[in-house]
Amino acid sequence: MKKLGVVAFGGNALIVNKQKGTIDEQEENAYLTCERLLVLINSGYDLVITHGNGPQVGNIMLANAAGEKLYGVPEMPLDISVAYSQGFIGYVIEQQLRNVFRENDIDRDIITIITQVLVNQDDPAFQNPVKPIGPFYTKEEADRISQASGAKFAEDPRDRGYRKVVASPRPLVIYNTKTIERIAREGQVVIAVGGGGIPAYYKAEHKLQGIDAVIDKDHASALLASQIGAYRFFILTDVPKVCLNFNTPQEKTIDRMNIAQAKRYLKEGHFSEGSMAPKIRAAIYFVEHSGRDAIITQTTLLGVDDGGTRITIV
Protein backbone atom coordinates (compact mmCIF):
# COMPACT_ATOMS: atom_id res chain seq x y z
CA MET A 1 0.00 0.00 0.00
CA LYS A 2 1.31 3.44 -0.93
CA LYS A 3 2.13 5.98 1.76
CA LEU A 4 0.59 9.43 1.74
CA GLY A 5 3.04 12.25 2.46
CA VAL A 6 2.38 15.92 3.03
CA VAL A 7 5.31 18.14 2.04
CA ALA A 8 5.25 21.75 3.24
CA PHE A 9 7.41 23.89 0.98
CA GLY A 10 9.14 26.72 2.81
CA GLY A 11 9.38 30.23 1.43
CA ASN A 12 12.85 29.46 0.05
CA ALA A 13 11.30 26.87 -2.25
CA LEU A 14 10.50 29.81 -4.54
CA ILE A 15 12.48 32.82 -3.31
CA VAL A 16 15.95 32.33 -1.85
CA ASN A 17 17.27 34.94 0.58
CA LYS A 18 18.58 38.11 -1.14
CA GLN A 19 16.83 37.30 -4.42
CA LYS A 20 14.41 39.86 -5.84
CA GLY A 21 11.79 37.22 -6.55
CA THR A 22 11.63 37.54 -10.32
CA ILE A 23 9.52 34.91 -12.05
CA ASP A 24 12.68 33.37 -13.55
CA GLU A 25 14.14 32.98 -10.06
CA GLN A 26 10.94 31.52 -8.64
CA GLU A 27 10.55 29.05 -11.50
CA GLU A 28 14.14 27.85 -11.19
CA ASN A 29 13.86 27.43 -7.42
CA ALA A 30 10.54 25.61 -7.75
CA TYR A 31 12.04 23.24 -10.31
CA LEU A 32 14.97 22.36 -8.05
CA THR A 33 12.62 21.74 -5.12
CA CYS A 34 10.27 19.62 -7.22
CA GLU A 35 13.20 17.51 -8.41
CA ARG A 36 13.76 16.39 -4.83
CA LEU A 37 10.20 15.07 -4.66
CA LEU A 38 11.29 12.25 -6.96
CA VAL A 39 13.06 10.70 -3.98
CA LEU A 40 9.73 10.36 -2.16
CA ILE A 41 7.79 9.26 -5.24
CA ASN A 42 10.37 6.56 -5.97
CA SER A 43 10.04 5.46 -2.34
CA GLY A 44 6.32 4.80 -2.82
CA TYR A 45 4.74 8.04 -1.65
CA ASP A 46 1.64 9.74 -2.94
CA LEU A 47 1.94 13.45 -2.31
CA VAL A 48 0.10 16.53 -1.15
CA ILE A 49 2.15 19.72 -1.43
CA THR A 50 1.53 22.81 0.67
CA HIS A 51 3.50 26.03 0.48
CA GLY A 52 4.24 29.34 2.11
CA ASN A 53 3.52 32.75 0.61
CA GLY A 54 5.12 35.31 2.93
CA PRO A 55 7.30 37.14 0.37
CA GLN A 56 4.72 36.85 -2.40
CA VAL A 57 1.67 38.03 -0.47
CA GLY A 58 3.67 40.95 0.87
CA ASN A 59 4.67 41.94 -2.66
CA ILE A 60 1.07 41.61 -3.85
CA MET A 61 -0.04 43.98 -1.11
CA LEU A 62 2.68 46.48 -2.07
CA ALA A 63 1.51 46.33 -5.69
CA ASN A 64 -2.08 46.80 -4.56
CA ALA A 65 -1.17 49.87 -2.53
CA ALA A 66 0.82 51.37 -5.40
CA GLY A 67 -2.02 50.71 -7.85
CA GLU A 68 -4.51 52.49 -5.63
CA LYS A 69 -2.21 55.45 -5.02
CA LEU A 70 -1.10 55.93 -8.63
CA TYR A 71 -4.12 54.81 -10.65
CA GLY A 72 -7.08 54.62 -8.30
CA VAL A 73 -7.37 50.85 -8.60
CA PRO A 74 -9.30 49.62 -5.51
CA GLU A 75 -6.94 47.99 -3.01
CA MET A 76 -7.87 44.39 -2.19
CA PRO A 77 -7.92 43.07 1.41
CA LEU A 78 -5.37 40.61 2.75
CA ASP A 79 -7.53 37.49 2.27
CA ILE A 80 -7.86 38.30 -1.45
CA SER A 81 -4.09 38.78 -1.67
CA VAL A 82 -3.66 35.32 -0.13
CA ALA A 83 -6.01 33.93 -2.78
CA TYR A 84 -3.96 35.66 -5.51
CA SER A 85 -0.80 34.10 -4.12
CA GLN A 86 -2.33 30.62 -3.95
CA GLY A 87 -3.21 30.81 -7.63
CA PHE A 88 0.11 31.99 -8.95
CA ILE A 89 2.34 29.94 -6.62
CA GLY A 90 0.26 26.84 -7.33
CA TYR A 91 0.68 27.51 -11.04
CA VAL A 92 4.46 27.85 -10.73
CA ILE A 93 4.84 24.67 -8.65
CA GLU A 94 2.46 22.72 -10.88
CA GLN A 95 4.26 23.79 -14.04
CA GLN A 96 7.74 23.00 -12.76
CA LEU A 97 6.68 19.67 -11.25
CA ARG A 98 5.12 18.77 -14.59
CA ASN A 99 8.45 19.56 -16.25
CA VAL A 100 10.21 17.27 -13.78
CA PHE A 101 7.66 14.51 -14.41
CA ARG A 102 8.01 14.74 -18.20
CA GLU A 103 11.79 14.49 -17.96
CA ASN A 104 11.42 11.36 -15.83
CA ASP A 105 8.56 9.68 -17.75
CA ILE A 106 6.09 10.04 -14.87
CA ASP A 107 2.43 10.28 -15.83
CA ARG A 108 0.45 11.89 -13.02
CA ASP A 109 -2.02 14.72 -12.87
CA ILE A 110 -1.13 17.75 -10.74
CA ILE A 111 -4.06 19.68 -9.30
CA THR A 112 -3.96 23.02 -7.47
CA ILE A 113 -6.90 23.52 -5.10
CA ILE A 114 -7.63 27.06 -3.90
CA THR A 115 -8.22 26.38 -0.23
CA GLN A 116 -10.27 28.30 2.34
CA VAL A 117 -9.59 27.73 6.03
CA LEU A 118 -12.00 28.59 8.82
CA VAL A 119 -10.71 30.74 11.70
CA ASN A 120 -12.27 32.37 14.74
CA GLN A 121 -12.70 36.14 14.40
CA ASP A 122 -12.16 36.38 18.19
CA ASP A 123 -8.82 34.56 18.05
CA PRO A 124 -6.32 36.37 20.34
CA ALA A 125 -3.90 36.51 17.41
CA PHE A 126 -5.80 39.46 16.01
CA GLN A 127 -4.65 41.47 19.04
CA ASN A 128 -1.04 40.29 18.72
CA PRO A 129 0.20 40.18 15.10
CA VAL A 130 3.37 38.10 14.76
CA LYS A 131 3.28 36.55 11.26
CA PRO A 132 5.97 38.13 9.02
CA ILE A 133 5.09 38.88 5.39
CA GLY A 134 6.68 40.76 2.54
CA PRO A 135 10.24 42.01 2.03
CA PHE A 136 12.86 42.92 4.60
CA TYR A 137 13.36 46.58 5.51
CA THR A 138 15.93 48.52 7.48
CA LYS A 139 14.76 49.85 10.83
CA GLU A 140 14.52 53.35 9.39
CA GLU A 141 12.36 52.16 6.49
CA ALA A 142 10.13 50.11 8.79
CA ASP A 143 9.67 53.05 11.17
CA ARG A 144 8.75 55.35 8.28
CA ILE A 145 6.17 52.93 6.86
CA SER A 146 4.75 52.26 10.31
CA GLN A 147 4.27 55.97 11.00
CA ALA A 148 2.58 56.50 7.64
CA SER A 149 0.28 53.46 7.63
CA GLY A 150 0.07 52.10 11.18
CA ALA A 151 1.56 48.79 10.04
CA LYS A 152 3.47 46.79 12.64
CA PHE A 153 6.98 45.46 12.09
CA ALA A 154 9.24 42.99 13.88
CA GLU A 155 12.97 42.36 13.69
CA ASP A 156 14.02 39.16 11.95
CA PRO A 157 15.66 36.70 14.40
CA ARG A 158 18.41 36.04 11.84
CA ASP A 159 19.34 39.73 11.53
CA ARG A 160 18.06 40.12 7.97
CA GLY A 161 16.11 43.28 8.77
CA TYR A 162 12.51 44.11 9.70
CA ARG A 163 9.31 42.65 8.20
CA LYS A 164 5.69 43.62 8.46
CA VAL A 165 3.75 41.37 10.85
CA VAL A 166 0.05 40.51 10.63
CA ALA A 167 -2.40 38.40 12.61
CA SER A 168 -1.99 34.64 12.36
CA PRO A 169 -5.10 32.95 13.81
CA ARG A 170 -5.28 29.23 14.50
CA PRO A 171 -6.76 27.16 11.64
CA LEU A 172 -9.95 25.36 12.69
CA VAL A 173 -11.39 23.71 9.58
CA ILE A 174 -9.77 23.08 6.20
CA TYR A 175 -12.35 22.82 3.48
CA ASN A 176 -12.37 20.06 0.84
CA THR A 177 -10.08 17.66 2.76
CA LYS A 178 -12.05 14.61 1.58
CA THR A 179 -11.47 15.57 -2.03
CA ILE A 180 -7.81 16.41 -1.41
CA GLU A 181 -7.24 12.99 0.18
CA ARG A 182 -9.16 11.07 -2.48
CA ILE A 183 -7.31 12.66 -5.39
CA ALA A 184 -3.92 12.18 -3.71
CA ARG A 185 -4.59 8.52 -2.86
CA GLU A 186 -5.58 7.94 -6.49
CA GLY A 187 -1.95 8.74 -7.32
CA GLN A 188 -2.28 12.34 -8.47
CA VAL A 189 -0.37 15.20 -6.83
CA VAL A 190 -2.42 17.84 -5.02
CA ILE A 191 -1.23 21.35 -4.19
CA ALA A 192 -3.40 22.77 -1.41
CA VAL A 193 -3.54 25.04 1.66
CA GLY A 194 -1.24 27.54 -0.04
CA GLY A 195 0.05 30.16 2.36
CA GLY A 196 -1.82 28.42 5.17
CA GLY A 197 -5.13 28.80 3.34
CA ILE A 198 -7.40 31.77 2.74
CA PRO A 199 -8.64 32.85 6.20
CA ALA A 200 -12.42 33.03 6.49
CA TYR A 201 -14.99 33.23 9.28
CA TYR A 202 -18.75 33.10 9.63
CA LYS A 203 -19.98 36.68 9.79
CA ALA A 204 -23.48 35.25 10.29
CA GLU A 205 -24.80 31.72 10.60
CA HIS A 206 -24.73 31.01 6.86
CA LYS A 207 -22.39 33.75 5.61
CA LEU A 208 -18.73 32.85 5.16
CA GLN A 209 -16.44 35.83 4.65
CA GLY A 210 -12.72 36.51 4.38
CA ILE A 211 -10.76 38.25 7.11
CA ASP A 212 -7.43 40.14 7.21
CA ALA A 213 -4.87 37.58 8.36
CA VAL A 214 -2.28 35.08 7.18
CA ILE A 215 -2.59 31.61 8.67
CA ASP A 216 0.66 29.88 9.54
CA LYS A 217 1.43 27.53 6.66
CA ASP A 218 3.05 24.86 8.82
CA HIS A 219 0.18 24.75 11.35
CA ALA A 220 -2.43 24.50 8.58
CA SER A 221 -0.33 21.85 6.83
CA ALA A 222 -0.11 19.83 10.04
CA LEU A 223 -3.87 20.02 10.46
CA LEU A 224 -4.36 18.88 6.86
CA ALA A 225 -1.83 16.06 7.23
CA SER A 226 -3.55 14.73 10.35
CA GLN A 227 -7.03 15.00 8.81
CA ILE A 228 -6.14 13.07 5.65
CA GLY A 229 -4.23 10.34 7.49
CA ALA A 230 -0.77 11.17 6.18
CA TYR A 231 1.95 8.64 6.90
CA ARG A 232 4.64 11.31 7.13
CA PHE A 233 4.73 15.09 7.39
CA PHE A 234 7.76 16.85 5.88
CA ILE A 235 8.50 20.51 6.65
CA LEU A 236 11.07 21.99 4.28
CA THR A 237 13.15 24.93 5.42
CA ASP A 238 16.54 26.49 4.65
CA VAL A 239 18.59 24.73 7.34
CA PRO A 240 19.51 21.01 7.34
CA LYS A 241 18.41 20.34 10.92
CA VAL A 242 16.78 21.96 13.91
CA CYS A 243 19.30 23.54 16.27
CA LEU A 244 19.48 24.44 19.92
CA ASN A 245 21.12 27.80 20.70
CA PHE A 246 20.87 28.68 17.01
CA ASN A 247 23.47 31.09 15.62
CA THR A 248 25.54 31.08 18.82
CA PRO A 249 28.85 29.41 19.75
CA GLN A 250 26.80 26.82 21.66
CA GLU A 251 24.76 25.82 18.60
CA LYS A 252 23.89 22.11 18.55
CA THR A 253 22.00 20.22 15.85
CA ILE A 254 19.23 17.76 16.74
CA ASP A 255 18.89 14.50 14.83
CA ARG A 256 15.85 13.25 16.68
CA MET A 257 13.56 14.40 19.49
CA ASN A 258 10.26 13.26 20.91
CA ILE A 259 7.37 15.65 21.46
CA ALA A 260 8.09 15.97 25.17
CA GLN A 261 11.60 17.18 24.37
CA ALA A 262 10.30 19.47 21.63
CA LYS A 263 7.82 21.06 24.04
CA ARG A 264 10.55 21.58 26.61
CA TYR A 265 12.89 23.22 24.10
CA LEU A 266 10.04 25.48 22.98
CA LYS A 267 9.36 26.52 26.55
CA GLU A 268 13.06 27.20 27.11
CA GLY A 269 13.00 29.64 24.18
CA HIS A 270 15.33 27.82 21.80
CA PHE A 271 13.12 28.49 18.77
CA SER A 272 12.18 31.98 17.59
CA GLU A 273 8.62 32.91 16.63
CA GLY A 274 9.57 34.31 13.25
CA SER A 275 11.46 31.20 12.23
CA MET A 276 11.57 27.71 13.77
CA ALA A 277 8.96 27.87 16.56
CA PRO A 278 5.90 27.55 14.25
CA LYS A 279 7.52 24.56 12.53
CA ILE A 280 8.16 22.82 15.85
CA ARG A 281 4.56 23.43 16.96
CA ALA A 282 3.27 22.09 13.65
CA ALA A 283 5.40 18.96 13.97
CA ILE A 284 4.20 18.42 17.53
CA TYR A 285 0.56 18.82 16.43
CA PHE A 286 0.91 16.25 13.65
CA VAL A 287 2.74 13.70 15.79
CA GLU A 288 0.28 14.06 18.68
CA HIS A 289 -2.76 13.69 16.43
CA SER A 290 -1.43 10.93 14.16
CA GLY A 291 1.14 9.00 16.17
CA ARG A 292 3.45 9.22 13.16
CA ASP A 293 6.71 11.04 12.57
CA ALA A 294 7.35 14.54 11.27
CA ILE A 295 10.62 15.58 9.65
CA ILE A 296 12.05 19.10 9.45
CA THR A 297 14.84 19.46 6.89
CA GLN A 298 16.10 21.36 3.89
CA THR A 299 15.14 20.48 0.35
CA THR A 300 18.43 18.84 -0.60
CA LEU A 301 18.13 16.34 2.27
CA LEU A 302 14.54 15.30 1.54
CA GLY A 303 14.30 11.53 1.68
CA VAL A 304 17.94 11.07 2.72
CA ASP A 305 18.60 8.63 5.57
CA ASP A 306 19.21 10.63 8.75
CA GLY A 307 18.51 13.82 6.82
CA GLY A 308 16.88 16.53 8.90
CA THR A 309 15.40 16.36 12.36
CA ARG A 310 12.83 13.65 13.12
CA ILE A 311 10.10 14.38 15.69
CA THR A 312 8.52 11.29 17.21
CA ILE A 313 5.78 10.41 19.67
CA VAL A 314 8.21 8.86 22.21
Torsion of Cα atoms, 121 then 112 then 93 then 18, to 10°: -10
Q: Are 8 and 217 in contact (CB under 8 A)?
A: yes
Name the residue among 270, 239, 242 with its Cα closest to residue 257. 242
Q: Which residues are part of the catalytic machinery?
A: 11-12, 131, 217, 279
Residue 115 CA to residue 176 CA, distance in Å, equals: 8
Which domains are assigned to the chain?
3-117+171-312 (3.40.1160.10)
How far apart (Å, rounded) are the C-alpha atoms in residues 185 and 234? Answer: 17
Question: What are the residues whose beta carbons fall under 8 Å from the beta carbon of 255, sequence distance 6 or more?
Answer: 241, 306, 309, 310
What pLDDT is attached to residue 65? 83
Tell me whether residue 70 is exposed, middle or buried, using C-beta atoms within 10 angstroms of its C-beta: 0 to 12, 13 to 18, 19 or more.
exposed
Kindly tell me the burial class for residue 48, based on how many C-beta atoms sit within 10 Å of its own C-beta (0-12, 13-18, 19 or more): buried
Contact 183, 190 (CB under 8 A): yes
Question: What pLDDT, on the 0 to 100 scale, is given for residue 19?
Answer: 86
pTM of the model: 0.92
Segment 101-139, tens digit of pLDDT:
999 999 999 999 999 999 999 999 999 998 888 778 899
Q: What is the pLDDT along the chain (314 residues), one digit of tens a residue?
A: 689 999 999 877 888 877 888 999 999 999 999 999 999 999 999 999 999 998 888 889 889 888 988 999 998 999 999 999 999 999 999 999 999 999 999 999 999 999 999 999 999 999 999 888 877 889 999 999 899 888 899 998 878 899 889 999 999 999 999 999 999 999 999 999 999 999 999 999 999 999 999 999 999 999 999 999 999 999 999 899 999 988 889 999 999 999 999 999 999 999 988 789 999 999 999 999 999 999 999 999 998 888 899 999 99
CA–CA distance, 211 with 42 (Å, rounded to integer)? 40
Instruction: Using alpha carbons, list the distances in angstroms from residue 55 to 16, 63, 80, 88, 201.
Output: 10, 12, 15, 13, 24
Which pLDDT tens digit goes with each residue over 169-212? Answer: 999 999 999 999 999 999 999 999 999 999 999 999 999 999 99
The residues pairing with 112 across neighbouring beta strands, listed in sequence order, are 191
Cα torsion 13, 43, 41, 190: sign: negative
User: SS3 letters for the chain?
Assistant: CCEEEEEEECHHHCCCCCCCCCHHHHHHHHHHHHHHHHHHHCCCEEEEEEECCHHHHHHHHHHHHHHHHHHCCCCCCHHHHHHHHHHHHHHHHHHHHHHHHHHCCCCCCEEECCCEEECCCCCHHHHCCCEEEEEEECHHHHHHHHHHHCCEEEECCCCCCEEEEECCCCCCEECCHHHHHHHHHCCCEEECCHHHCEEEEEEECCEEEECCCCCCHHHHHHHHHHHCCCCEEEEEECCCCCEECCCCCCCEECCEEEHHHHHHHHHCCCCCCCCCHHHHHHHHHHHHHHCCCEEEEEHHHCCCCCCCEEEECC
